[in-house]
């Protein structure tokens, strides 16, 4: 059997930074719910909103890979008017 490359193993396309941000977001959410259960009505909503609305979406949207857009080789340097 052939071994899978690192890119094939992670089909979601996440890198270490994405997983770290997800862990931070989940920790903030858990701490927010704990504070909510204790009765802290100022800190809990702040942590929950930041965790749900900022950190978790950032973990999904941020990509460490740079995507290069290249033009097809046929369109570079060709002039339509010179063709007969």
Report in angstroms the alpha-carbon separations of 47 from 31, 55, 68.
Answer: 8, 10, 36
**What tens-digit pLDDT sequence spans the chain (84 residues)?**
556 565 555 677 889 999 999 999 999 999 999 999 999 999 999 999 999 999 999 999 988 665 555 555 555 555 566 555
Q: Where are the domains of the chain?
A: 13-61
Phi and psi at residue 81, in whole multiples of 5°?
-70, -20
pLDDT of 11: 72
Report in angstroms the alpha-carbon separations of 61 from 11, 19, 36, 75, 83.
Answer: 15, 12, 28, 32, 45
Report in angstroms the alpha-carbon separations of 44 from 11, 20, 59, 84.
Answer: 34, 22, 21, 72
């Amino acid at each position: 059997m052939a071994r899978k490359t690192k890119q094939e193993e992670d089909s979601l396309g996440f890198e270490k930074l994405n997983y770290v941000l997800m862990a931070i977001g989940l920790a903030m959410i858990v701490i927010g719910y704990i504070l909510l259960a204790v009765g802290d009505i100022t800190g809990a909503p702040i942590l929950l909103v930041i965790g749900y609305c900022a950190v978790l979406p950032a973990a999904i949207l941020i990509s460490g890979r740079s995507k290069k857009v290249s033009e097809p080789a046929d369109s570079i340097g060709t002039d339509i008017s010179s063709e007969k």
